Structures are given as C-alpha cells and as structure tokens.
Amino acid sequence: MKKTASYQAFLIEQLRKDEGLREAYLNEALQDEDQRLILLAIRNVVQATGGMSKLAKTTGLNRQNLYRTLSNAGNPTWERIEKIFDGLGFPLRAVSKKNILLLEKQKGKGEVKYVTQEAQPVMARERSVRIKGRGKAKKKSLISRKSG
C-alpha cells in the first residue's frame, strides 16, 4: 500500500516551491488575530526555506532564541519580527487599502497571480519622474521595490 504524505509535509513542499504562495500564506496568517497562528505560519515558511540555522545566519539572531521566539509560547518583539520577515525575504511595509482593492480587481481580470504579490504603492515597474535641479528638469528612474 502506498503511503500518503502528511498535510504538513505537503504544505512545506508547496511552500518550498512557490515564493508567491509563501507570500500569500504569510499575508493570510497576518490577517488572523491569533498570534500562535502567525508564529506557526512563520515556522512553516522558515522550514520550507532552509530552516532555523539558515534564518539565524541571515538575520544575525541566535538560533535557539529564534526557536523560542517562534514557539507557541513565544512573544516576539517588533524588532525581532521585522528581522525575521526581512530574513525570509519579505520586508514589512504598509500598503493602502486603495491599492489592495485595485490589485484585487486586476486579479479578477487574470492580470495578477497573487493579490499580495504586486501589492505595492507603485508596482514593480519603472516610472519616470521629473526632478528639478540647477535650473533644468532631469528625469530619474524610480523602482518601487526590488524584484526578487
């Protein structure tokens, strides 16, 4: 008889393969008021992306303290959560409800794979703006976020 994979193993494998899914998964967890669920989602993404040792090296945080921080009884500080998200490749930033609603509409048209993937005030494409300098107007290229 063929063994079936556990849900946890399946979830970790899917998260390992798909960065967009990791992003959507973390954003969904952040919508919940239960801190334990958020910490569980972070632990799952950490496991899918190389484990606590890799995260410790990336963030400069102590591995044992990361285990403690992300446990069900953990009570992480804002600074630590910020470092963890940054270490996972998801820097925390504010996005207006207006932009999220705009992106949800685009998703309905099939233009955006994940609502949260491009949820940035200015999408990840270049825009030119005019900047005044020494009597002349100069053009400067702006990129809202690093594409990764």
3-state secondary structure 62-93: CHHHHHHHCCCCCCCCHHHHHHHHHHCCCCCC
CA–CA dist 71, 74 (Å, integer) = 5
| Low pLDDT (below 70) residues in the chain | 1-2, 110-148
User: What's the pTM?
Assistant: 0.67
What are 79-105's pLDDT values in tens digits? 999 999 999 999 988 888 888 888 788
